Structure 1
């Protein structure tokens, strides 16, 4: 399980950068195919959960039923995207092992590997081959945000099952990493983890330490915090990341209006009229960016699936919050099994991909979340039933 998950976490990014691929999709298909072929050679059974077929069925309907989608149909892109999701579904379902000790050992190892990768990225020790052409790579990931999306749910699980002291150290280490990379997505992710794994006094202590560290950084490098400030507070000196985020919301609204609430159809995001942020990006930077993925999943869901997308975002948001509240409630109680905790952690941290930053549908974190959501729903139902007794 550990090796297979590392392949799915790292290989798609490596292939995308080294082969100059347009997205992670091709690398994800290759990685999934390798895992499936190895399993078949070993005589092991491959399987898939129904959730992947359900998502693919809804996407398929929105390709051929939605009038806007039919007018702007690009067969190859949509069909290949669906095949990629289903293929990865087979790979993930086949390798995901819910044995309790196996989960703890696997996630603990993945956490340490990714933490080391993160701190190597801080010092920019490794920039092999094509990575040298990228603006801010974090090999094997193409950028720090892609690293953060994969790292945070694993860090959440690790911190939840750790002792009080190790939780504090984990949150501090991840916060330091977020400050020195620097990366806002990672910082928001660490905040989400801290809200459920730290007690009030611990949270205050960690916050004071981080504020003190920020003060020291600003004292010696006054312009250092500009990275975070420019991404949160609008200014005349337009920041590309800030504009891309605003563009995502503008696109969602534009797509709703353009499609009369139906959405523009699966993998058709970007055909709707551009908004003010898109024009500013084009005027200032001379290119278009993130028009097809919206920058975060809520934008893409709403833009492509319309009113159904709004319902999907609303439902998954409530599910994520409930998962986080349940984790917080059972901290230190040793009631939840590791298999339940991993499902709840991925569902809770899905808020990060929904509203902050995503890699479209071909994020391994999104696809794992898709895998564990049915289990999370069952956990929440059982918990609700027990509370009523």
Structure 2
């Protein structure tokens, strides 16, 4: 039995690396290569792959894991259906698309059922994923470099500045943080600085604010406070010699005068959130109905005038806008719970960043996934069903299972009882 342990550990790490790479790259690649309209097909496929690996014994699952997953999927489905029915009654909007909601609820159920398989595949006890995530980070960097060199496959996507395997650089930006945070925390301090500066330079070269935000988040998580202060001072001084007009435009949130579409999309997301909560009396307009039911916010009108068409109505620009608009106060409670967990994980990672503090690959990556999702939640997202969303659910499942997400403490043990 013991002789097979190293082989079993290597196999587990191989499957873990495959799942991580697939979740971060495949959903976007389907849009780039085959014009898939969302990340959902790729994420669903990888969920099915994880279930297949569990069914063939490559990922260990207990009957309790399976029962809990089906129970969670059932409860989620019931809650969303009841919420949708009441949202339909409150809004009485003829444009509400019930079939779209039903299909998405089925898809969400599939993803929830596959979460334990992804969790055990990526964050199981036998997995060692440092090497795999370093490779993933290297691929992110190469993707940006090849894009800058204009060496990448052709795509028919209408996305702005496609960067293989994503139809726009922002998708790389929200896919990057967890892997970047993990890689930096598994590296010596000086190497961490080199890594984050490399991605800063790539983000600047690509002219993408989301990648810059991902780098700021990773730096804030993994670098010493004194380095962060010094970096801020150097950045302020150095900004005088850099052309930052693009980023200044991105921070112009005056919808009446701004001509920057990214800034207008962000403002539109907040305006749609306020409009949805107001007209639904705080209940929400219904699952997957943002951009489907009638909306008439000022930023949307401005975008249409500048672009000649609507943009980002169905995704809200960032996930907080989408989930709050669609699920109302329930969605806002979920958002608050997420931010609470993200802050706790961020503080834990700040502790881990100090020399000599040990942590397993599983916990480190789980917390990095929770913190990294901040970019998608509050800065730039696309839809619910991204690979990073599945990793977030797997991470939360892992942390809850270990009773660390809520800060719960084990019961007092009798003298002599092992920890």
Higher helix share: 1
Residue aligning to 1:324: 346
Residue aligning to 1:221: none
Is residue 119 of structure 1 aligned with residue 145 of structure 2? yes
Is residue 345 of structure 1 aligned with residue 345 of structure 2? no
Q: Deviations over 1:271-308 (max 9, x none)?
A: 14321101111122211111111111111111011111
Tell me the CA shift for residue 75 of structure 1: 3.4
Is residue 257 of structure 1 aligned with residue 278 of structure 2? yes
Tell me the CA shift for residue 250 of structure 1: 0.5
Give 3-state SS (helix, strand or coil) of 1:76's partner: helix
Equivalence map 1:65-80=2 (5 Å): 65-66=86-87, 67-68=89-90, 73-80=96-103
Residue aligning to 2:38: 23
Answer 1 or 2: higher relative contact order, Cα 8 Å, separation at least 6.
2
Is the 2:253–2:267 Cα contact (8 Å) retained in structure 1?
no
Tell me the CA shift for residue 136 of structure 1: 0.3
* TM-score normalised according to structure 2 size: 0.81
Question: Structure 2 vs 1, CA of residues 234 and 381 (structure 1 numbering), >3 Å: closer, same or farther?
Answer: closer
How many corresponding residue pairs? 379
Give 3-state SS (helix, strand or coil) of 2:128's partner: helix
Tell me the CA shift for residue 210 of structure 1: 4.9
* TM-score normalised according to structure 1 size: 0.87
Equivalence map 1:218-237=2 (5 Å): 218=242, 224-234=243-253, 236-237=257-258
CA RMSD of aligned residues (A): 2.8
Tell me the CA shift for residue 189 of structure 1: 1.4
Tell me the CA shift for residue 57 of structure 1: 4.0
Instruction: Give the alignment partner of residue 263 of structure 2, picking from 199, 220, 242.
Output: 242
Tell me the CA shift for residue 262 of structure 1: 0.6
Unaligned ranges ≥5, structure 2: 1-15, 412-419
Question: Structure 2 vs 1, CA of residues 354 and 170 (structure 1 numbering), >3 Å: closer, same or farther?
Answer: same
Name the CA distance, whole Å, in 2 between partners of 1:27 and 1:336. 31
Unaligned ranges ≥5, structure 1: 219-223
Is the 1:178–1:184 Cα contact (8 Å) retained in structure 2?
yes
Is residue 200 of structure 1 aligned with residue 225 of structure 2? yes
Name the CA distance, whole Å, in 1 between partners of 2:336 and 2:177. 22
Q: Deviations over 1:64-93 (max 9, x none)?
A: 343247755533312221222333344453
Name the CA distance, whole Å, in 1 between partners of 2:396 and 2:111. 16
| Larger Rg over CA atoms | 2
Is the 2:123–2:398 Cα contact (8 Å) retained in structure 1?
no
Structure 1 stretches of at least 4 aligned residues deviating more than 6 Å after TM superposition? 41-47, 383-386
